[in-house]
Structure 1
């Protein structure tokens, strides 16, 4: 498939003193020739979140662009090689401190077979389609957050509306961090249902403080509004946001190369493509909900006891550090040992590797 696009991005501090989000292409540098887009939301002790996000953005884009050219198919093998190189680059910048830097990842590449999207954490990628004669505007595709509340929604413990106001809504279950025995895996999807007029919207969670999926859909697919006006509307929605907020907006102006897909203007299928799901995240047989409740309660008790022991009896989870992320200190294991946990936040973290919902064997669940 060949694409003609218009690409835009925005980035603002919110009420923070430093910018920990990173994006590729850089702010104001997107052009109609770009086919690779990366966005990362960093976090880390001693203001190293920007180091983590910039390192992943730079390394991932550089490795891919050195081996891939627009118009070619992007293989999963190349993406995974670039992801591994990004982890290696993070390892090289680790200072050995207990509080580890880290970052989320969102990735989009438009290529000969369609689009490859990948993500780690709670930064999102949307594919949105404006209304046509016979269909309403809709979200064709959206990544699923690697977060505690999203896991609870999936098992029926809470509703999506309750998740918006849940006290642990900032806890995430995957992040890219240095020197981890078990590196967090990316969810990868291959999208082929891409039509002229579609939009891809990539954003850090800061863009979502006051914007729901419905808000985003209404703004980006608003009839008779220019792309520049839509970008300004997104800025207006986020002007009171506390967190850093960053976004890519990619308008698919023209699609060539696959007539059966490019001409399918009235397609009703939500996603035409293939999911590549990490082994530990494969769906399991449906289970009753009550064992989850008991399990979560037991884990909460263990986590509280562990936190109490490691913090000398203090409620360490109540401390706000940096990116408004609550962190419970926990013991950092040497790299050669295996257990650990992942946190989004300015704090200790190693990666969780058990099936979702992934709670860690030490300390408390990670919180943003």
Structure 2
């Protein structure tokens, strides 16, 4: 069964990079995004090798298990090809690429993924991230040490824990099978998009109902408007959508679209082999992705613990400052209330109270200052009513004057 739907692919260098190390593939049944890394002469070669190896799976499958197995095997073979390439040209040491691949088989999507490019599913107005980033910060999120929002701005957000590179001949690739249905819209992208455009804006754009090509253009514009510090590659796939597939010719974008894209650059004099931190390679753009050694990973984890401790300390200090300010404000307010006075009744006598006629829960803001000894029964009815309703005074002297006026004329003070 041939996949029925429409799709589009686009790739852009971005506003900071001088070359495009991303590659993308958009066929009839197979769709791929590969984000290369390794400097000017490495990332583009790695992503191109991945695309040109995997595109051979475009024949169409009728069994999802076969498709999943072949995807996994092809990615492993790509790793071997990268290792062989570096053996022939040591100046390319340290190159690698992410791979996020989607293959349509009947009414299912077969997915293979390694790295931090992403596959999203937009269904019934909701956007869901299908793949999991193989990054250091994602591990921190999974362990509950940071939030997804904190991960977006973490200084180590580009550190990859898994990548298709020249050091591991048997890479650990996530593969799984999902049912898909007419109306689904799939998005494959490099982190040049999802790293700068949040899911809310992506979802809103996908929901506008434009054809895949127009939608990809709108998403790319958002990435460019946000600064596009990295290459941006986008592949959009509509399942049984209203936009018919115009052509069966595959679309290849990014470095893999260059006929010279997978040619190995000639060796330069003075270069020696190395690793991810190759000292002799002078790149137009330093790699932003690398797979850390176990020692470096331990250092990153310790650094993150220190950062977390600092955050907790500052959080506690901030809380203490806020509580202290609140306590000072409460004390100031209470002190002010104790400069106020009023006249009221206490059982059967007239009393001068200090404070105000309000309570805060169990806390009373007034207390007896002086029981005058004047009996309520000795007061005329109107004065007794005023006292029972309380009489405010501007000061203690004013309160004393009001009490003197209440005393019966026959009483000797």
Query: Which residue is 1:220 aligned to?
Result: 206
Q: Which residue number in structure 2 is paired with residue 189 of structure 1?
A: 176
Matched, 1:78 2:70: yes
The residue aligned with 2:6 is 6
Give 1:226 deviation, angstroms: 4.1
RMSD: 3.1
Q: Counterpart of 2:220?
A: 235
Contact 1:23 1:40 in 2 (8 A): yes
Asked whether 1:148 is paired with 2:142, we answer no
* Offset, 1:232: 2.7
Alignment of structure 1 residues 295-310 onto 2, 5 Å: none
2:294 corresponds, among 351, 356, 360, to 360
Q: Distance in 1 between matches of 2:132 and 2:75?
A: 19
Q: Note if 1:108 corresponds to 2:108.
A: no
- Please name the residue that 2:324 is paired with: none
CA–CA separation in structure 1 for the residues paired with 2:294 and 2:107? 38
* 8 Å Cα contact 2:13-2:232 kept in structure 1: yes
The answer (yes or no) to whether the contact 1:176–1:183 under 8 Å persists in 2 is no
Q: Which residue of 2 aligns with 1:171?
A: 159
The total of aligned residue pairs comes to 260
Superimposed CA distance per residue, residues 62-105 of structure 1 (whole angstroms, 9 cap, x where no aligned partner): 2x24xx53445443322222122212211221123484111011
1:2 and 1:99 mapped to 2: Cα distance? Answer: 40
Displacement of 1:157: 0.7
Specify whether residues 4 and 13 from structure 1 end up closer, same or farther in structure 2 by C-alpha distance, changes over 3 A only.
Answer: same
**Residues 9, 181 of structure 1: CA spacing in aligned structure 2 closer, same or farther, 3 A cutoff?**
closer
Give CA deviations for 1:42-65 in whole Å, capped at 9, x if unaligned.
011452110000001111222x24
Aligned CA distance change for structure 1 residues 101 and 61 (closer, same or farther; 3 Å): same
Residues 151-210 of structure 1: per-residue CA shift (max 9 Å, x gap):
1011111111111111111111111112x2563211112101x22111110000001232
| Equivalent in the alignment of 2:240 | 253
Tell me if structure 1 keeps the 8 A contact 2:71–2:112.
no
Matches within 5 A, 1:329-368: 344-345=289-290, 360-361=294-295
Question: Which residue number in structure 1 is paired with residue 60 of structure 2?
Answer: 69
C-alpha separation in 2, matches of 1:153 and 1:102: 24
User: Higher helix proportion, which one?
Assistant: 2
Alpha-carbon contact 2:4-2:239 (below 8 Å) kept: yes
| 8 Å CA contact 2:32, 2:100 repeated in 1 | yes
1:32-111 correspondence runs (5 A): 34-62=28-56, 64-65=57-58, 68-73=59-64, 74-94=66-86, 95-97=89-91, 99-111=93-105
Any gaps of 5 or more consecutive residues in structure 1?
Answer: 131-136, 256-315, 327-343, 353-358
Alpha-carbon distance change, 214 to 119 in structure 1, aligned in 2, over 3 angstroms: same
Residues 1:13 and 1:196: Cα distance change in structure 2 (over 3 Å): same
Pair 1:181–1:188, CA change in 2 (3 A) = closer
Equivalent residue, structure 2, for 1:118: 112
* CA distance in 1 between partners of 2:74 and 2:182 (Å): 29
Output the TM-score relative to the length of structure 2. Answer: 0.57
Q: Residues 219-253 of structure 1, C-alpha deviation per residue, up to 9 Å, x if partnerless?
A: 1022x544444223212201231211101000112
Unaligned runs of 5+ in 2: 243-277, 302-413
Q: Secondary structure at the match of 1:238?
A: helix
Partner residue, 1:307: none
Deviates more, 1:86-95 or 1:226-235: 226-235
- Relative to structure 1, the CA distance from residue 112 to residue 246 in structure 2 (aligned partners, 3 Å threshold; closer, same or farther) is same
Once residues 230 and 286 of structure 2 are traced to their aligned partners in structure 1, the CA distance between those partners, rounded to angstroms, is: 8
Instruction: Give the match for residue 206 of structure 1.
Output: 192
State the SS of the aligned residue for 2:5.
Answer: strand
How much does 1:142 deviate?
Answer: 1.9
SS at match of 1:163: helix
Report which of the two structures shows the higher radius of gyration computed on alpha carbons.
2
Number of the residue aligned with 2:352? none
What TM-score, normalized to structure 1? 0.63
Alpha-carbon distance, 1:106 to partner? 0.5
